[in-house]
Structure 1
Amino acid sequence: MRNIKLLIEYDGTNFVGWQIQPNGRSVQGEIKKAIKEIINEDVNLIGASRTDAVVHARGQVANFKCENKIPTESLKKALNSILPDDIVIHAIEEVDPNFHARYSAVEKTYRYFITKNKIAIGRNYFWFVKYELDFENLKKCAELIIGKHDFEIFSKKGTNVKDYICEVRSAEWKIEDDKLIFEITANRFLYGMVRGLVGAMVDVARGRFDIDVFKKILLEKCNDFEIMHAPASGLVLESVKYPNF
């Protein structure tokens, strides 16, 4: 039995998310269907991150086990020849039998993209924020979230996990022309967590509430203020890191 690892890029605009669902196209479903067409095996395709509807990825990782002996480079070419244009397989390799795309991951990096000017071309990859934003307050918020914290209040309801503690290893806002980019790396992420953090930080930066309130929400889990979740379209899974196998 072989264990095959995939490095995947996809445009999430027209997907219901990574995971197979009954109500529309999923990235997992499209890749599983293509694999079956090529090797005639119905594989269990495991993704590193269950990205939500409309969320994009440049560095999604997945793995599956199979009996077929097709060379990995041949499999990559075959998959890219039949997959839809909004999914690309960038690399395929055979890995240790114990490798698990989700549970073997030690950290993930996401980026969130904001445009301060309304755009037509590229609108599916940015959140257009019409408010004036205080960039220094964005930076201060990002500094506060570094370290181990309980992020339950920033995640979406229905998150089914044993605990809500995540270790944020880096968090930074950058300016590129008229764009704002938030990059965050952590050992794990909760459902909707990045979008909740971005929404709350933008609320601070536009003056809806001050940074002391943000600190109270983060450190004391104060739920007196409703957390705004940023739109999914601006979020990209950039990379997933694994220990050596």
Structure 2
Amino acid sequence: MRYFIYISYLGKGYSGWQIQKNGYTVQQVIEEALGKLLSRTITISGSSRTDKGVHATQQVAHFDSITPIDPVHLTYRLNSVLPSDISITAIRPVVEAAHARFDACHRRYAYTIITHKDPFYRDRAVWLRRTPPLGLLNQIAALFSVQADFEFFSKTTDATRGFICNIEEAAWVAIDDKIVFYIQANRFLRGMVRTIVGTILKVATGKMDSATVAELIQKKPNTRPILTLMPAHGLTLVEVGYPPSLFVQQNVS
């Protein structure tokens, strides 16, 4: 039977989500914990590849079990053995062919900026001494609410499925002494959100004009511009959405 596992983690102590040869990753830690509790080798496949230092309040992965499990009980057992910076929030049975990455309808990220030094946010937000007006930030962010080729806003190595993304939301929100950039799309490219945030701030501070941004999105000039990749620790994967038809009811005796 196949299950979706919902995961929350702080990314500071890990070399990103995906297993790699020379780094300690979130996927590795969870696979080891599942293997220990289920007494067999378990491989999980995630919805998104968060980079080193990036966080998640809702990462989703799928795994298979040859015997039915009690999701509530396994969730508790996993949280008992996982480190304090990783939490399992739910395990849900899904149809056999469900895929955490390819069946996702949308992914939503948040990039958090604090306007004064706060030790409680030092690993989860970027501190900027001054920030542009919220209205100006949203005016620039609106340029990105399109379906387009975002190759210039991604790391050049990511060409697996092309560069077309449909951005459904791109907006800044003021929350207390923080400003948070929310962006939702059907898919994202590597480094895309952090590059978009850096570009918006660059335009808002007069270091780039909005016409240049529009050209990068719509016309793809021959010269690749130098864009700013914001620090990883300000970024959080906050939601992954799926069609309700993927989920099934399970009776556990």
Give the TM-score range, shorter chain.
over 0.9
Match of 1:31 in 2: 30
Match of 1:206 in 2: 205
Opposite residue 240 of structure 1, the aligned amino acid is V
How much does 1:132 deviate? 4.2
Partner deviation per Cα, 1:13-48 (whole Å, 9 max, x = no partner) = 111011111222211000000001001121220100
Aligned residues: 244
Match of 2:138 in 1: 139
Partner deviation per Cα, 1:141-180 (whole Å, 9 max, x = no partner) = 2111112111000001211323211001111111123311
Match of 2:69 in 1: 70
Counterpart secondary structure, 1:13: coil
CA shift in 2, pair 1:29/1:221, >3 Å = same
Distance in 1 of aligned mates of 2:42 and 2:68: 14
**Contact 1:39–1:68, Cα closer than 8 Å, also in 2:** no
Partner deviation per Cα, 1:166-213 (whole Å, 9 max, x = no partner) = 001111111123311100110110111101100100111111112222
Distance in 1 of aligned mates of 2:161 and 2:175: 38
Match of 1:192 in 2: 191
Distance in 2 of aligned mates of 1:130 and 1:219: 33
Distance in 2 of aligned mates of 1:113 and 1:90: 22
Match of 1:225 in 2: 225
TM-score by length of 2: 0.92
Between 220-229 and 151-160, report the one with greater CA deviation.
220-229
**Contact 2:140–2:204, Cα closer than 8 Å, also in 1:** no
Partner deviation per Cα, 1:106-136 (whole Å, 9 max, x = no partner) = 1111111011223322111111223442433
Counterpart secondary structure, 2:91: strand
What's the % identity of the aligned pairs? 37
Match of 1:49 in 2: 48
**Contact 1:137–1:211, Cα closer than 8 Å, also in 2:** no
Distance in 1 of aligned mates of 2:176 and 2:168: 26
Structure 1 alignment gaps of length 5 or more: none
Partner deviation per Cα, 1:65-124 (whole Å, 9 max, x = no partner) = 121333121111110110011110011121111111011111111111011223322111
Counterpart secondary structure, 1:89: strand
Match of 2:147 in 1: 148
Distance in 1 of aligned mates of 2:133 and 2:208: 12
Distance in 2 of aligned mates of 1:49 and 1:179: 26
Match of 2:158 in 1: 159
Match of 2:39 in 1: 40
**Contact 1:134–1:206, Cα closer than 8 Å, also in 2:** no
Match of 2:242 in 1: 242
Counterpart secondary structure, 1:153: helix
Distance in 1 of aligned mates of 2:33 and 2:187: 29
Opposite residue 151 of structure 2, the aligned amino acid is E
Opposite residue 213 of structure 1, the aligned amino acid is T
Opposite residue 235 of structure 1, the aligned amino acid is L
Opposite residue 110 of structure 2, the aligned amino acid is R
Opposite residue 141 of structure 2, the aligned amino acid is A
Structure 2 alignment gaps of length 5 or more: 247-253
Counterpart secondary structure, 1:35: helix
**Contact 2:152–2:224, Cα closer than 8 Å, also in 1:** no
Structure 1 vs Structure 2 CA RMSD: 1.4
Distance in 1 of aligned mates of 2:103 and 2:87: 23
Distance in 1 of aligned mates of 2:23 and 2:189: 23
How much does 1:216 deviate? 2.1
Counterpart secondary structure, 1:14: coil
